[in-house]
A and B are shown apart, each in its own frame.
Chain A
Amino acid sequence: AQSVTQLDSHVSVSEGTPVLLRCNYSSSYSPSLFWYVQHPNKGLQLLLKYTSAATLVKGINGFEAEFKKSETSFHLTKPSAHMSDAAEYFCVVRPTGGGNKLTFGTGTQLKVEL
């Protein structure tokens, strides 16, 4: 069985300050992990993915995430927030080897203030 927990339902930051969106997972096997972003009235866009290669993963728009097996975490970070980063972010886990079962977190709404 696998699960993913996004620890914050809402995060608010000022423009130009760092972003940290937290995600913890549990999985019986070595998982693949993803972060998706959803802007209002849009579909989900893949930000980055971890698939058992380098533990520090760089994604689009300056985001990155670090896979920490000992902490079962995959937190999403960005050094400097931009107004366009305001959106909902989903942490997702998929079992190693693929399979058709993605497990989604409940999402974190990121607000960026001037």
Chain B
Amino acid sequence: ETGVTQTPRHLVMGMTNKKSLKCEQHLGHNAMYWYKQSAKKPLELMFVYSLEERVENNSVPSRFSPECPNSSHLFLHLHTLQPEDSALYLCASSQADRAGGYTFGSGTRLTVV
């Protein structure tokens, strides 16, 4: 375990479903991130929360909706997804404005059918 826990590990959902991905960190970090990793593509930064405020939203479709209720928890709410949204969704945390790296969770493998 890295200190960043993501649930569920695997998720299969239909295009009309609503589901949520959860991320939890116990490292005392104050910034959290959602990344999308698709096959044959570079890692894509989706959302950044720093001190519980969203500070970056990289042109992500509105069918993805993040929520950060406190500095330890991050959610990604999903609704009416498309098959091309199938990917590995990675959560990470860090101490904002420090030179250290991010700590990543193990990811949620999402398949949209």
Interface residues in chain A, defined as those with a beta carbon under 8 Å from any beta carbon in chain B: 32, 34, 36, 41-46, 49, 51-52, 90, 92, 94, 96-102, 104-107
Contacts and interface: CB of A to CB of B under 8 A. Distances in A.
Interface in B74-98: 88, 90, 92, 94-98
Interface residues of B, number: 30
Contact of A43 (B2, B48, B50, B100): B2
Contact of B99 (A32, A46, A107): A32
B101 A94 contact: yes
Interface of B: 2, 4, 6, 31, 33, 42-43, 45, 48, 50, 55-56, 88, 90, 92, 94-107, 109
A42 B55 CA distance: 27
Contact of B101 (A92, A97, A105, A107): A92
